[in-house]
C-alpha cells in the first residue's frame, strides 16, 4: 500500500515527480532512497575483546547498512572525556541507501546486539563494548531530532581524525571547508592515538601456529579459525597408533612413530592446501611439517635421523610455506602445568628435559630456515582461552606479524593489563 503524503504538504495532483516523492518518503517516513550515499563512521571499543567487537560491528554494518568500501587501520587511543581503559578505534567508509535516521537506528541496534547498554547519563561517557558514530553523510549538514551531521566533535578527536586520514585524507568535511588531513594537522587533541594494526582481517593466505607440547597452539588455531571464518587444519596425532606405545618404550617405537607422523602430516598438508574451501578466507593450521623434524631429532638415533632427514628435506621443499609461522613460547613449568591439566594418559610421563630438547630443536631450525617469516610470542602464564583481553593481545601481534618485513624473526611478549 502506498502511504499518502502528509496533510501539511501542498502539491499539484498529477505533478508529483519521482524525485519529490523520494524526498517526501525520505523526510517523513525515513525509508530508503535510491541514491547511494557516501558515509564515514567512527567505531570504538574499550571493554572485553575489543578487536572482536569491532570486527563483529563491521560485519553487521555490511549486513544491515550497506557496502563497506574501506576500513582504516586499528588505533589504540586514550578514553576521551572520562577515565577508562584504552579504546581500539577504526573509521569505515560505507555506501548506503539508508536515510540518516534509518542509519542511526541501525547503528543503535548493532550496538545493542554487541552488548552496549543505554547511557544512564547523556552528559557523561563510560566504558562500552562498542560505540558507532556517524561522522558524515554525503555532503549534507543535518541538525534535527537528536541527530547532528557532521558529528559535532569530529575535529576535536584524534581517535577519529587519525584513522580517517588513513583512508580518506583528501575528503572535504562538510561545514569545515577543510580536508580530513588538514583537520588532523591542526588538531589540538593531545591524547594517545597510535596505529597498532594494519586492519581487522588477517592479511595471510596460510597461517601456522606451532609450539611445544602444552603451549596452546591447537586452542589458539581453533579460536582464530572460528572468529575469522578460516579453513582449519589440525594435526591428527590422536589417530596415530604408535603414539601411546612410544611414550611407553621410546627406543623401540621412535622411528616408526616419526615416519608415520611425517607421512601423515605431509599428506594432510598437501591435500588441505591443494583443495581449498572456496568459502574460507584463509587457512590456519596448528602445525607445519617441520614439527616432524624437531621431534625426530630428539627421539631418533643418529643413523636413523640421517635417513629420516633425507626424506624430510624432499617433503619440506615440496610444500607451500606459511605466510606467517607463529611459535608460541611458554616456560617449561607452564607447559608441564598445562599438560597435567588436560590429563592425557599417554602424556603423563613427559619430562621437563624432554620439553627443553623439543624447544631447542625448534630454535635451531627457526634460526636457519630462511624461507620462513617467524613470529615468536611469549605467552608464559597467559590464558588466552578464557581471558578475552589476552586473546585480543595475541591476535594483534599476529595481525602485525609482517609489519617489519626486514626482520625475518620477531619476538614479542604478552603481558597482563
CATH code of the domain covering residue 389:
3.40.50.300
Q: How deeply is 304 buried, as exposed, middle or buried, from its count of CB atoms within 10 A (0-12, 13-18, 19+)?
A: middle
Whether residue 16 lies inside any domain: the answer is: no
Q: What pLDDT score was predicted for residue 300?
A: 92
- 246 and 392 fall within a common domain: yes
Specify whether 255 is located in the same domain as 315.
yes
Q: Do the domain assignments include residue 41? A: yes
pLDDT of residue 11: 32
Distance of CA 14 to the CA centre of its chain: 55
pLDDT, residue 120, reads 67
Does residue 6 fall inside a structural domain?
A: no
Do 329 and 217 have their domain in common? yes
Separation CA 36–CA 99 (nearest Å): 10
15 inside domain: no
- HSE of 226 in the Cβ direction (CA atoms, 13 Å)? 8
For residue 170, what is its C-alpha cell? Answer: 583528501
| Residues involved in catalysis | 286
Position 11 in a domain? no
Residue at a domain's end among 179, 197, 215: 197
Q: Is residue 382 part of a domain?
A: yes
Say whether both 248 and 397 belong to one domain: yes
Q: What is the pTM of this model?
A: 0.77
Give the pLDDT score at 19.
41
Please tell me whether residues 338 and 247 are part of one structural domain.
yes
DSSP reduced 3-state for 305 = helix
Contact 131, 43 (CB under 8 A): yes
Q: Are residues 150 and 255 in the same domain?
A: no
What pLDDT is stored for residue 214 in this prediction?
95
Let me know whether 324 and 259 are in one domain: yes
Q: What is the mean pLDDT of each run of 10 residues along the chain (417 residues)?
A: 35 39 44 78 94 93 93 92 88 94 94 85 76 94 86 92 96 94 94 89 93 96 93 82 83 90 93 87 94 91 94 94 96 95 86 95 92 94 91 90 68 75
Same domain, 210 and 193: no
Cβ atoms < 10 Å from Cβ of 24: 17
What's the CA gap between 174 and 296, in Å, rounded?
A: 65
Domain identity same for 112 and 156: yes
Same domain for 258 and 137, yes or no, is no
In the chain, count H helices and then E strands.
13, 16
Q: Evaluate whether residue 12 is within a structural domain.
A: no
SS3 state of residue 321? coil
Q: What is the pLDDT of residues 234-272, one digit of tens each?
A: 987 667 788 788 878 888 888 998 999 899 999 999 999
Domain boundary among the residues 146, 162, 197 is at: 197
Please tell me the total count of domains within the chain. Answer: 2
Q: Is residue 166 part of a domain?
A: yes
| Pairing of β 87-96 and β 74-77 | antiparallel
Nearest to 76 by CA among 162, 7, 139: 162
Q: What is the pLDDT of residue 123?
A: 57
Instruction: Tell whether omega for the bond before 348 is within 30 degrees of 0, i.e. cis.
Output: no
| Spatial CB neighbours of 360, under 8 Å, sequence gap ≥ 6 | none
Q: Are residues 271 and 162 in the same domain?
A: no
Rounded Cα gap, residues 29 and 3, in angstroms: 9
Among residues 180, 197, 214, which one ends one of the domains? 197
Beta-carbon count within 10 A of 342 CB? 9
CA distance 19 to 49: 45
Cα separation, 183 vs 177, in Å, equals 10
Q: Which domain holds residue 333?
A: 206-413
Both 186 and 257 in one domain: the answer is no
CATH number at residue 43: 3.30.70.560
Amino acid at each position: 500500500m502506498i502511504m499518502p503524503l502528509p496533510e501539511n504538504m501542498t502539491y499539484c495532483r498529477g505533478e508529483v515527480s519521482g524525485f519529490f516523492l523520494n524526498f517526501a518518503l525520505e523526510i517523513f517516513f525515513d525509508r530508503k532512497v535510491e541514491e547511494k550515499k557516501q558515509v564515514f563512521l567512527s567505531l570504538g571499543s574499550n571493554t572485553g575483546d575489543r578487536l572482536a567487537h569491532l570486527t563483529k560491528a563491521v560485519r553487521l554494518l555490511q549486513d544491515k547498512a550497506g557496502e563497506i568500501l574501506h576500513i582504516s587501520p586499528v588505533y589504540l587511543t586514550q578514553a576521551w572525556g572520562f577515565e577508562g581503559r584504552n579504546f581500539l578505534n577504526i573509521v569505515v567508509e560505507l555506501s548506503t541507501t539508508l536515510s540518516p535516521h534509518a542509519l542511526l537506528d541501525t547503528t543503535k541496534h548493532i550496538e545493542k546486539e554487541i552488548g552496549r547498554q543505554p547511557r544512564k547519563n547523556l552528559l557523561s561517557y563510560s566504558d562500552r563494548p562498542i560505540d558507532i558514530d556517524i561522522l558524515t553523510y554525503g555532503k549534507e549538514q543535518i541538525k534535527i531530532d537528536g541527530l547532528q551531521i557532521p558529528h559535532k566533535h569530529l575535529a576535536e578527536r584524534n581517535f577519529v581524525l587519525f584513522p580517517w586520514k588513513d583512508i580518506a585524507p583528501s575528503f572535504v568535511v562538510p561545514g569545515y571547508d577543510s580536508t580530513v588531513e588538514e583537520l588532523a594537522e591542526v588538531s589540538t587533541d593531545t591524547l594517545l592515538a597510535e596505529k597498532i594494526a594494519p586492519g581487522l582481517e588477517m592479511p595471510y593466505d596460510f597461517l601456522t601456529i606451532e609450539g611445544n607440547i602444552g603451549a596452546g597452539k591447537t586452542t589458539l588455531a581453533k579460536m582464530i579459525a572460528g572468529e575469522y571464518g578460516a579453513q582449519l587444519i589440525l594435526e591428527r596425532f590422536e589417530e596415530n597408533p604408535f603414539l601411546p606405545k612410544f611414550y611407553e618404550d621410546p627406543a623401540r617405537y621412535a622411528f616408526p612413530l616419526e615416519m608415520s607422523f611425517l607421512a601423515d602430516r605431509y599428506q594432510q598438508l598437501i591435500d588441505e592446501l591443494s583443495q581449498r574451501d572456496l568459502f574460507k578466507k584463509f587457512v590456519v593450521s596448528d602445525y607445519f611439517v617441520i614439527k616432524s623434524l624437531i621431534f625426530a631429532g630428539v627421539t631418533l638415533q643418529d643413523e636413523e635421523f640421517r635417513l629420516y632427514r633425507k626424506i624430510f628435506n624432499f617433503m619440506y621443499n615440496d610444500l607451500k610455506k606459511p605466510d606467517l609461522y607463529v611459535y608460541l613460547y611458554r616456560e617449561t613449568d607452564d607447559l608441564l602445568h598445562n599438560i597435567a591439566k588436560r590429563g592425557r594418559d599417554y602424556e603423563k610421563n613427559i619430562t621437563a628435559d624432554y620439553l627443553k630438547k623439543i624447544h631447542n630443536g625448534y630454535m635451531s631450525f627457526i634460526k636457519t630456515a630462511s624461507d620462513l617469516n617467524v613470529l615468536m610470542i611469549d605467552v608464559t602464564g597467559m590464558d588466552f582461552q578464557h581471558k578475552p583481553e589476552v586473546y585480543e593481545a595475541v591476535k594483534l601481534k599476529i595481525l602485525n606479524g609482517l609489519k617489519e618485513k626486514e626482520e625475518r624473526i620477531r619476538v614479542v611478549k604478552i603481558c597482563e593489563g
